Amino acid sequence: METNKKQKWLEEGFTILSEEGAGSLTIETLTGRLKVTKGAFYHHFKNWQDYKESLLSLYENERTLKTIEFAEQQLSPLDKFEYVMEKSIRRDQKLEVAVRAWALIEPFVQSYQQRIDQRRVDYLEEMIFLLYKDRERARTAALIFYSLHVGSQHLLPPVKEQDLVKLYRELQQAFHILA
């Protein structure tokens, strides 16, 4: 029960980030939206830093580590690659953009974002390496695919899902990573 309440605080933090950005992510905004007191916040979190660490840990776990964990259950490197691409296309891009923007103004968040980016690129590289057996080309392809992922989130208006699928497929053809 206690974990569910803590989870609610974190999910509300994601909602605030997605809808309003990091500037609106405050204890006051959280307590107001959840209709609870500041004491309730401190019941679940030691301080604001503890909340941010919990929020970013959950973000990293849900959006990177679990994706990799589920991808690893796929049989072939190509199936793993397809799973990761599918997840990246389908996830809430607003939250990704909000966390990345937050990382530009807060070094603590930047450290999380750098670790997440590195983990994602490294995993893509490993999957592509298993297909190519060429480390340099796998690294280049991983960086290009990830750059498309990040860059497409920042275009205004955002790239539509079906257009992003087309872009990924074009890159797959260029690198001979065919489904």
**71 within a domain of the structure (yes/no):** yes
Distance between CA atoms of residues 59 and 54, nearest Å: 9
pTM: 0.93
Distance between CA atoms of residues 102 and 127, nearest Å: 29
Residue 116: domain span: 2-174
Q: List all residues 6 or more positions away from 127 whose beta carbon is below 8 Å from its beta carbon.
A: 71, 77, 80, 81, 84
What is the distance, to the nearest Å, from the Cα of residue 100 to the centroid of all Cα atoms in its chain? 9
If residue 120 lies in a helix (H) or strand (E), which one and from where to where? helix 107-132
**139 within a domain of the structure (yes/no):** yes
Distance between CA atoms of residues 71 and 77, nearest Å: 9
Q: Which CATH number belongs to the domain containing residue 119 in this structure? A: 1.10.357.10
Look at the chain and report how many structural domains it folds into.
1
Q: What percent of the chain lies above the pLDDT cut of 90? A: 92
The string of pLDDT tens digits covering residues 98-152 is 999 999 999 999 999 999 999 999 999 999 999 989 999 999 999 999 999 999 9
